[in-house]
Amino acid sequence: MHRQHEFDVVKMNKPKMATEKGVPSNSRVLMLLGQLERMNGETMVREVENARQLTLKILHLIQTQEKSGKEIMSKGSSGMEVILASLENTKDVQTTLNILYILSELVTVGRGRRVGVFVSKGGTGVLFQILITANKESHPSEELMLQLHSLLAKVGPKDRKFGVKARLSGALNVTINLMKQNLQNFKLLLPCLQVLRVYSANSVNAISLGKSGVVELMFKIIAPYSKKNTSLHKVALDALGALLKSKTNARRAVDGGHVPVLLALYLDWHRNDARHRHLLIRKGLLVCLRNITNIKLGRKVFIEADGMRILYNSSTECLPVRTLDPLVNTSSLIMRKCFPKNRLPLPTIKSAFHYQLPHVPAVGPVAQLYSQPPGVDDVVDESDDNEEAEGDTDTENDEDDKDHTANDDIETDLNKLHPIKSPGRPFEELRSYERFFLELYEDFQGHNFECPKAASTKSSSASFSSSSIRSTQPVIVPTAQALSPMNVPIEDSEREHTGPSTTPTDALTSLKLDTIHLTKDQEKKVGFIPEGHTALSSGLSSQGQAIEQELARVLECVSLEQEGTLNAEEGLKGVRQEGSPITAARHIHSPLLLGGIATLRVGGQGSNCGSDCGSEGADDEGGEGAVLEVPDTAALLPLHDPDLYVEMVKGTHSVPQYAEVAYPDYFGHIAPTFREPLLERVYGVQRSKIFQDIERLIHPNDILDKVVYDLDIPSGPVIEENGESLKFNSQFESGNLRKAVQIRKYEYDLVLNSDINSNHYHQWLYFEVSSMRVGTTYRFNIINCEKSNSQFNYGMQVLMYSVQEAISGRPQWVRTGTDICYYKNHFARSSIAAGGQKGKSYFTLTFSTSFNHKDDVCYFAYHYPYTYSTLKMHLSKLEALRTPQIYLRQDILCETLGGNSCPLLTITAMPESNSNDHICQFRNRPMIFLSARVHPGETNASWVMKGTLEFLMGMSPLAASLREAYIFKIVPMLNPDGVINGNHRCSLSGEDLNRQWQNPNPELHPTIYHTKGLLQYLAHIQRAPLVFCDYHGHSRKKNVFMYGCSVKETVWQSNINATSSDLQEDLGYRTLPKILSQIAPAFSMASCSFVVERSKESTARVVVWREIGVQRSYTMESTLCGCDQGKYKGLQIGTRELEEMGAQFCVALLRLKRLTGLHNHQHLLDLESDIIGTQSKVVSCPTTYVMEEDEPSFLEAIDYSAESNDEDVEPENEQGVEVQENLDQLSDSDNHRDLC
């Protein structure tokens, strides 16, 4: 008949209602239901009046007695089955209506549980059957149709198969025809629309309804504007919004000319709803527009209908009213979607710098880059405006394909999860690395252990030492605690500059170029040092030292004139006054030129000092660029020497042949004494920035679109102008800024440079700004970011360095910027740049800041810069800290593609004597292998490494014990070329070096090839490291944490079948991170993961674990943002905390030594638990699978309100947990010594 089996109708068995468990036997409503049940189908037809009376009495009881409904719906009752059976059997309209009234009363209460019971008993199918039967009558009862649709509207949302049942039963057409015949009958039309809204939620139904003309029908109902029957309009808009999720229906609406209708309606409601009583109708109109603009044609028509201006103006008027935020947010989403995709203002997305590789890989992104035909536009696709999927496929369960499991990347091949020591290279070839392990063969027979001045080591190759090193102060563990002032008075008398005075008459005139010459403008006055100003002593204590001087100095020009080849080996002559903490006065203009070779700047120009200080203050005494003396930064920072830094820069080879030095790298950085909390996100900041972007389209005449800096211009990147614009510069080591475009008077779009031999990886930024106006707020937009989310949305700020502050005694990077947010923009990202995906956009990092000093030069950076030349300078300084008790050797592991040296350090303690026992103990110390900075943009890794190195070279008992316990092999910078050239992730080969460990190429990846060779050599001679750790930075997570490798934890996460033998594993890989979680305030054990992922199989951590057999192989990730737990909760991380982390890593290794010295493994676990203070044994500690980020997902349509700062930051104990607390007992004076 009506395919009754498809409705899941349950045939009624005779219920024993009076004896059902839990149901009272004297219940009147159940007695009536029993009578109703006994009326079979034929009786029901014959005794129509009795059926009417019975159903009417039951209805009356349910309406007047609440307990009656409960009795029918109770678990032990079969009342619902009886009611549905009667509904199915009756042919009388009035009886049917009575039963529908009963059902309506029953399902109206009960918070949905009763509806669930109704659906489970097959009620939906019965209703559709009644609807189809009634529709066959020549004149269907209007009341019956009304009640049927009212009941269907109530139960539909609770029935997951509602749409399927409606379509198969033919109910869709019944409802459609009923609506068409009753457009003016609002009483009947409302429940029909409510049911239609539920029908349309099914995508297949939506398409079918669209073909039946329902979209056009909806527009007849919602237009024209009227405040009558607002509830009808609301439901109609909901149904229309659901229908328009279908691309087919969206096109139908566009073709029907309905987009202008929707806009006009929205404007009418916006203007006339002054008291905001009809927000749901206004929101419904916006939802319809949002769904229509999901298709390209819809966006085109929306713009042609002036939709951008209409929504922009209406949203602007809504902004003051907080309750209208849903309207503003939806309008913002529509406008952003419809904003025409713009082309990045670049000729190509390939790097502005070109480096020809010795040979090109056969496959991969670099091969594609080189095989790209000339003339191909790689910035934007021909048709970049994609159709953006809406889930419009004709399937029933389109919502089931939302997300795959979060663990798709977990390795499931057990063969790859078992470490297999693979030689890889023949031992005869690996023997060449023997020269880097002299400590394993040294017998010290010619060494004088009595003479305190005796040389302690020999170097197998050239070191980074310099004769200009003077500081020999010991380095103590940094603790990141409050600084205490330690002031040393300096001269306060006015001093005249006595250096050679030269006034070049021509920019290209060369002087003696093997020294630094000081140039002086005779017409300008030399500043003086006011009384009472102080400088720091050159000592460095664990408590830090305050830098609170006012050294009235600055900014005269140091021109590093030289001719011939730049030579890093030549000393600095005649520049400094020995013994004086203050250098001679220097003229410093921006930029600080290296060698004064202007032609070496990219583009061939540069003699114009492209970033002179300040456009204001020209009328001040002394004219532009007032002369002040520069403080001796070396006196403030014991491990920093500006002149030594310049010498190191001379030996650094960059692709652009940089001829300038950035002031922050020249002066150095001292960690601020104040805390820098995570920035609280201002409500509505993202929305306001987006609206300013939209104004570019609404008011194009207000946009300057003036290029002020461009590396792609052959004549030179700095573009001359009249002083109304900021001046930019990035032509120095590690600098990255490709282009600056002035958008408004105080707003600039900035474009970052791609990594060399790549067309993406835009994240690292480091550039200089000058000619600023004091007190004016500038907005900077980095417009070609690629990641979909960033910690800039969760409290992170950029860093700024003021030269004026530096010469006033505060040389430091500080967190800066307000109104910071990170969001998808309207600049199209080509499929070439997006790995073949079309329709992608870039993201914008925007921040605002102001400047406090006239004639200042400021620098901005993504994170605290740490250049390759800085590393060389620090290594030279560290060598001077060596005492006769320290074994330190600096080797050159290899040369990079760019011709730079990759340093390798060996640090341990000298043997007590050259006796056999002492030499044996010396040679048999376990190896610790550390590396850092494989990714150039992760500068925090270098600061952590700096803390590790300074601790290792320190004079504390802990440091001495650590050197006696281990031999340290350290590669502090695995990617010098990437660091030098301002790359974010790659080397000059255009590849991520941390994805090359499985099969590194000796030509393209020399640092990885030879570092792996060192480890392979150690594995061959049975001296594999006890610990391998690669220092990294993480851009989307907080805290410091570790990634390790575990078979068992990977298997647990992947649910693959494994035998008990497969899961046998030493749990020692957890020991080091557990120790760190107890002693290092920034470390979070909860963020650690020991799962092995497929995408990481060629990283250092996994390859060293698998092939070298190092169980404790780690990546240590340090946040670029800050901490959300522990002592530093709510604070952004700084260099003091990063260096502290490096030192604490060393302390943890000392504890690890005591644990690994125990031979009984269970005893080891017990002692570990005891020392660390854990509540349970290691074996019970759960794993944590760490995904890409730990913040809420990035939702463009929702304005953030400081999600990461929802919890109040707890007050910290200023004293904190002392690093040294109870650690002296771990001095490990009785080291275990292996037998020879």
Can you tell me the distance from the alpha carbon of 275 to that of 278, in angstroms, rounded to the nearest whole number?
Answer: 8
Cα dihedral sign for 650, 655, 656, 662? negative
Contact assessment for residue 818 and residue 849, using Cβ atoms and an 8 Å cutoff: yes
CB 690 within 8 A of CB 819: no
List Cβ neighbours of 1218 (8 Å cut-off, separation of 6 or more): 479
Looking up tokens 């930075």 gives: 1033
Distance between CA atoms of residues 697 and 702, nearest Å: 10
Q: State both tokens at 827.
A: 């600049």
* Nearest of 10, 156, 146 to residue 88 by alpha carbon: 10
- C-alpha closest to that of 30 among 42, 45, 39, 19: 19
Q: What one-letter code names the amino acid at 1218? A: E
Single-letter amino acid, residue 1179: V
CB 516 within 8 A of CB 575: yes
Alpha carbon 710 to its chain's center: 28
962 touches 907 (CB < 8 A)? no
Report the alpha-carbon distance of residue 439 to residue 436 in Å, rounded. Answer: 8
Bridge partners, 1042 (sequence order): 1116
Of residues 555, 554, 557, 553, the one with CA closest to residue 503: 557
**Is 768 one of the catalytic residues?**
no
Of the candidates 546, 563, 379, 580, which has an alpha carbon nearest to the alpha carbon of residue 470? 580
Q: Give the position of tokens 């030349």.
A: 869
Rg, Å, the chain Cα set: 38
Residue 335 backbone class (left: φ over 0; alpha: ψ -120 to 50; beta: rest):
alpha
Pairing outcome for strands 927-932 and 1027-1034: parallel
Which among 768, 1117, 1139, 1168 is annotated as catalytic?
Answer: 1117
Is 1236 within 8 Å of 924 (Cβ atoms)?
yes
Residue position matching structure tokens 């992947």: 1054
What is the C-alpha to C-alpha distance for residues 273 and 280, in angstroms, rounded to an integer?
A: 11
φ, ψ of residue 499 to 5 degrees: the values are -70, 170
Q: What is the DSSP string of 129-176?
A: HHHHHHHTSSS--HHHHHHHHHHHHHHGGG-TTHHHHHHHHTHHHHHH
**Quick check: 961 and 1162 in contact, CB under 8 A?**
no
Instruction: Round to whole Å and give the CA distance between 948 and 1188.
Output: 27
**DSSP string over 429-497:** HHGGGGGG-GGGT---TT--SS-TTS-----SS-----TT-------PPP-----B--EEE---S----
802/153 Cα distance (integer angstroms)? 66
Q: Are strands 927-932 and 967-971 parallel, antiparallel or unpaired?
A: parallel
Look up residue 1097 and give its two tokens: 């199989």
Q: What is d(CA 694, CA 308) in angstroms, rounded to the nearest whole number?
A: 8
Alpha-helix residue ranges (DSSP H) falling in 668-706: 685-698
The residue written with tokens 């805390």 in the block is 675
Q: Which residues contact 171 (CB under 8 A, 6 or more apart)?
A: 128, 131, 132, 165
Whole-number Å distance between alpha carbons of 861 and 58: 77
Q: Indicate which residues carry an active-site annotation.
A: 1117
